[in-house]
Chain A
Amino acid sequence: MIIRPIVPDLGERRPERGRRPGERIVRIVRPKSFRLTGKGRYEAKDSAYESESGLGHAFQRVRRVLIGRALRSEAEALERVSKKVGLALFAPDNITSSAYATEEIMRVLVLAGIAALNLTEPITVAIIAVLAIVIVAEIRVIHAYPQGGGSYQVASENLGMIPGLVAAAALLIDYTLTIAVSTAAGVAALSSALPAVHEHRVLFAIGLIALVTLANLRGLRESGLVFAGPTYLYLGSYFALIGYGVFLMLSGGLPSYVPPPQWLGSYERNAEALTVLVVLRAFSSGAVALTGVEAIGNSVPAFKKPEPRNASLTLVVMGVCFAIIFGGLSFIGGALDIVPDPNEAETVNSQITRTLVGVGPFYYVVQGITALLLLFAANTSFSGFPRLASILARDRFVPRQFAFRGDRLAFSTGIIAVAVLASLILAAFGGSVTRLIPLYTIGVFVAFTLSQTGLVRRWWRLRNPHWRLSIGLNAFGAAVTAVVAVIVAVTKFEFGAWMVLIAMPLLVALFYGINRHYRAVEDELVADPDELRVEPLQPIVVVPVSRLDRAALRALSFASGLSRDVRALHIDDDEASAKAFQERWTKIVPEIKLDVVTSPYRALLPPLQSYLDDIDRDDTRRPITVVLAEFVPRHWWEYALHNQTALRIKLALFFRPNTVVIDVPYHVPPEERAP
């Protein structure tokens, strides 16, 4: 005997006779796909996620090959990193700016003639000075927010919602552009060594973005070992290169560099006057050097204890490494009188390396490791953008889908969104680093300015020990970054910065609008205390029936269990067949009321909707429930031949108020399947 409770539980209890007379055993049949964890609580097992259909199973296998096995939520453990590993993980975004910062300064200065390139070094020094100020200010952020405070959090907490949203918009734009610029720069480094790549640089770049996207969807954890090797090889290679260059400079053995005459001619022919504006533009181009500084501040909890101290030291080391490489390349480039390639086929770094050491194994190592590390820099944004988007989704400023973690614990929606956006931007700008740079730095400096200003407010409010010093440092940091932001916006406005200046407020408006919508919906849905009860509703059930077959009978049986008020509706375009249907109905299902409507214009939906409007008018408190019979064919490719009417009805009724639509599928029983 099997005991079947009125409200069935998952699983079953089967009493059985035991060995001895009067003895009983209760066999507990466990649910196949759920594990009991408490009274009325279950956990879905792996088998609950397995598809039962052949097509679904095949799709899951393809997904598993591409993205990997699903991970359980508790698999996301926070691994603490040392300073050495932290530098490798979080510094590439900033350090790799040295791959193109010198070149971008030169590209602007050379517009005023070859002689203007002499200003490269002083501009480099100015940028390094700004970097030092930003790093000192960022250390205050690290100590103020040891739990990892991004500019969005700092600005929101201390300045309010709108400044927080501006910071968020600036950061999201910055993350997207980091991927576009880093990938374009990586391809440029590759094409310097392999010229054939240059012609197809956009395709290459999009292909690389796709690869990194897949890696991130697989939940590629920034494994210390994976990143450490290339990062330290990059640092080692450039330190060696710069050390060798300095040695040659000091010993008077610097090789001579001769640019192609057509380059010189091209620049001299089109030279404009060297004005303050040109110098400021060159400065703002080189200011890309300051991108990536916030990566360490956002990742403080990832460091070993004491986290703020270790993160701060790593930030300082990062800044020093970058300053050595950036400064070294600028000075050596100046000493060699390097001229940037007007066709962008070879990078300035490649020219410097080639001139110093020739085209040998070391040259290819430098170019290769530069390209690889630029990809790693792009990868940092693949975790930054989705993480920030998930926080915004939690705060209801972006759609909730951005908070969803996929099979591999990665924020899949954010990863795919940033990949698509970066690819589109990269394609639109022809894969050119120089054309992308004007858009790049504004977001960073706006975010910096807001977070520094937020900190000033915080110190003023909290009055911690040394609050005056903290305010001074952060106020100075905010002022410097604000000035740089204005310089970048003004000097790069016509070259593309206007797009970012328009995009930021539009994004803020979008975030605000989404939040307002979610809050309005919340207000609509949250029940008042006196509404917190369940009152049974007796729906009016309507079953559209075109044919009295097994599917229809199943739907009618189901409908009869829902309510006492069930009516069938038959819509026919022929009076005679409608009458015949009615007569057959009276013989077979007399207990259910049938309404027959003849539709002279042969349409189904308008008469159905009008019928529902009419019965709804009688009692608007009772929901109308439309029960639809749906035949489920044996094979998926047969779906297109069935249920189109049911689908049309569902779509038509979806937005109808006070209406519930229920599908009652009819599956062909196994024994009736064709051999």
Chain B
Amino acid sequence: MQGSSSTNNNILTVEHLTMRFGGLVAINDLSFAAKRGEITALIGPNGAGKTTVFNCITGFYKPTEGMITLHESSGKTHLLERMPDFQITAKAKVARTFQNIRLFSGMTVLENLLVAQHNKLMRASGFTILGLLGLKTYKEASRNSIELARHWLEKADLLQRADDPAGDLPYGAQRRLEIARAMCTGPELLCLDEPAAGLNPRESAALNKLLLDIRQDTGTSTLLIEHDMSVVMEISDHVVVLEYGQKISDGNPDFVKNDPKVIAAYLGVEDEDEIDIPVIREDLKAVGKGKKGEAR
């Protein structure tokens, strides 16, 4: 935010990250940093390795090489590539959502948010034993957890559906619920894998508002994979572009949008007429206009 480039200001630094699946190199020597309190977008054509980067950060894959460091605001650092996946959320406070929504569909919306507060509640219940005896501390923690869930339900505009099964929600609401659930873990870094995929323009606008709210109110940093350029360009402070597992551009949205390498990656270079993808070109153009019109 202050524009200083000291490492203290980075919440996440990825250095020389390489991920190979057998002979396939999904990510090759990728380095980038995400700043605290900012929304960092990770974009790139299909198959560029974006989700693989996510899976490495959140521990679902163990990277072949490289170092992923998370700097907590308290000053603690965690080497994510060495931690098991559940501890990355529990200890390093990194929460994530999934490209194909993964909710607990048979549990209610509220229960989904309570499951997300598992570790906190486990401690409060003395790892179940004290809670079974009906201790006060657990009852209070339980009340607080419902209040926190209510807070995020309001933010995600899901309060009215709190007692419905999560599987019964429409698609857009499920996306918002997944983000709310991730926020209930109390993360410092929120990783969103294509949160706007399959949303209509109105839902997409609501999502933008939710993400900006999260940044403003909680100071949570966000790392975002997205194909929807209107979302990326509107809300992100910093964009990293991947192609074939390598970083081809890194900077603020305006810089990236005009980077010839990015345009080439999305539109092709030599045989421009033949492999022209008009949809994306128009998308980029439209975004460009939107960006200029937007008052900062």
Are the chains A and B members of one assembly?
no
Residues on A lying within 8 angstroms of B by beta carbon are none
